[in-house]
Amino acid sequence: MNETVDLRRDGPVLTITITRESRRNALNAEVARGITAGLDMADADHDIRAIVLTGEGEKAFCAGGDLQPTADGAPFSMDEADPSHYLAALFQRMNRARQPLIARVNGHALAGGYGLVCGCDLVVAREDALMGVPEVKVGLFPMMILPFLIRNTPNRVLMEMCLTGEPITAAEAVGHDIVNYAVPAAELDSKTDWLLERIVTKSPAGVRLGKQSLSRIREMSFDTALEYAPFMLANMARTADAREGFAAFNEKRSPVWTGR
């Protein structure tokens, strides 16, 4: 049983909540394992069509990693015999998620918490939530989360955030295409539910295959991507969901998705 992460299933939606409010929902290895367990649970259940990642309380989505000084006073160290890191494993797992990941940003998302936001597919946030990477203020740089930051933060905005350590609000982040929707705190749940409804009513097979394709195309050259895309489109057209979608369109009715 993981006491730092709560997993709650509500119909086709799985909500993963970091439950360390007293520590501002800070990341540690146990939290990473809990989030990973949630992603694995969703993968094993084809009836789950979307995943929400959020934090407990109203102050922090996630304040970053639990940095504690080591014996020599350093705030971070690696095991030379095992250079892997729980954050790297978590972000790799998030990158392989088959369902859409929606960040419900209930409070500040800083350092590794901002990395979690950038690792999600869509973001609904409190307009006053702060987002940023303050690592430079303690002599570090946001190394572990840079792959996700580079993907979802415009270069000059990212450079300013990294070099100054100063955060921006979610309302400001909307203007940089970092956040999809920034709303008053009282509207956070209703806006998240509104977005979820638009996702879970679509073809599960189409979403899963589309996410897989987008992830791979992102890493391809332009020419390779154009060779891969027709192959995946033909495969998708053979799914039961695609056949149902075409039939429903022609018959002017709502489709009945099976996820196959």
Looking at the fold, whether 128 and 221 belong to one and the same domain comes out as: no
Q: What confidence tier does 83 reach under pLDDT thresholds 50, 70, 90? A: low
Question: Domain ends where: 200, 225, 241?
Answer: 200
* Structural domain span for residue 227: 204-250
In a domain, 59, yes or no: yes
Q: What percent of the chain has pLDDT over 90?
A: 90
In a domain, 196, yes or no: yes
Count of other CB atoms within 10 angstroms of residue 28: 18
Q: What confidence tier does 77 reach under pLDDT thresholds 50, 70, 90? A: low
Catalytic residues: 135
**For residue 55, what is the domain's CATH number?**
3.90.226.10
Residues constituting the chain? 260
Q: Share the mean pLDDT of the chain.
A: 93
Looking at the fold, whether 98 and 153 belong to one and the same domain comes out as: yes
Strand order in the sheet with 5-10: 5-10, 13-18, 50-55, 101-105, 122-126, 181-183
Cα–Cα distance for residue pair 37/16, rounded to 1 Å = 10
108-152 pLDDT per residue, tens: 999 999 999 999 999 999 999 999 999 999 999 999 999 999 999
Q: What is the separation of C-alpha 107 from the centre of its chain, rounded to a whole number of angstroms? A: 15
Q: What is the separation of C-alpha 27 from the centre of its chain, rounded to a whole number of angstroms? A: 14
8-66 pLDDT per residue, tens: 999 999 999 999 999 999 999 999 999 999 999 999 998 999 999 999 999 999 999 87
pLDDT surpassing 50 at residue 3: yes
Residue the block writes with tokens 């969901």: 241
Q: What confidence tier does 95 reach under pLDDT thresholds 50, 70, 90? A: very high
Looking at the fold, whether 70 and 181 belong to one and the same domain comes out as: yes
pLDDT reported for residue 67:
64
Looking at the fold, whether 222 and 115 belong to one and the same domain comes out as: no
In a domain, 255, yes or no: no
Cα–Cα distance for residue pair 210/204, rounded to 1 Å = 10
